[in-house]
Amino acid sequence: MLFSRSSGEEANQFHADVTEGHTGASAPESQSAGKEQTLNRIDKGKSTSSVIDEWLSITGNLQTDGDVLVNGKIHGDVRCKLLIVGQQAEVEGLVVADEVVVRGAARGVIRANRVRIEKSARVDSEVFHRALCVEEGAEFVGMSRRSDDPVNELASTESQSAALQEVAEKMKKSGSKPAAASKSGTDKSAAVA
């Protein structure tokens, strides 16, 4: 899926990067091959790539099995295979991906196996990662935590949270209330001599 008015150089580079399986620079002659390989991936039902152009602003969640290049703004959660946040782009929300490359602004929580924060990036996030690279000159405010499985840990946390919410809803419906904690300063029976 391509959300772009033009086939700009950065979009072409993104397609070349994705089809070659990396996010580094590639030779110009591989760009046309990259487009062809991307079209072949679409035809074979494999994951594809999407470009959110600079004129586009999305409020809401974005989920795909493919790769996403953001040059615009996203205010919501993003789940994808590879996320590249362009230099002028902004992403605010939870990001869950196999790999994340930030060149622009990111705020929220990032959970990815590999995270690269480039020198032009402005990141204010909690970053859960297996591998992290922060280039000199990047603005990084927040915390990073190494994890063996940062993507799937979230699924476990989400299921625990959903189970707790379900219990709370059942308790509301049944009228039962959780036991209240007593204040030790006013409850003399709780005092120990």
Task: Reply yes or no on whether the pLDDT at 8 is more than 70.
Answer: no
133 vs 9, residue with greater confidence = 133
Q: State the chain's mean pLDDT as an integer.
A: 75
What is residue 173's predicted lDDT score, i.e. its pLDDT? 78
| pTM exceeds cut of 0.75 | no
Q: How confident is the model at residue 176 (pLDDT cuts 50, 70, 90)?
A: low
**What one-character-per-residue DSSP string does 128-173 give?**
EEEEEEE-TT-EEEEEEEE-S-HHHHHHHHHHHHHHHHHHHHHHHH
CA pair distance 28, 171, nearest whole angstrom: 62
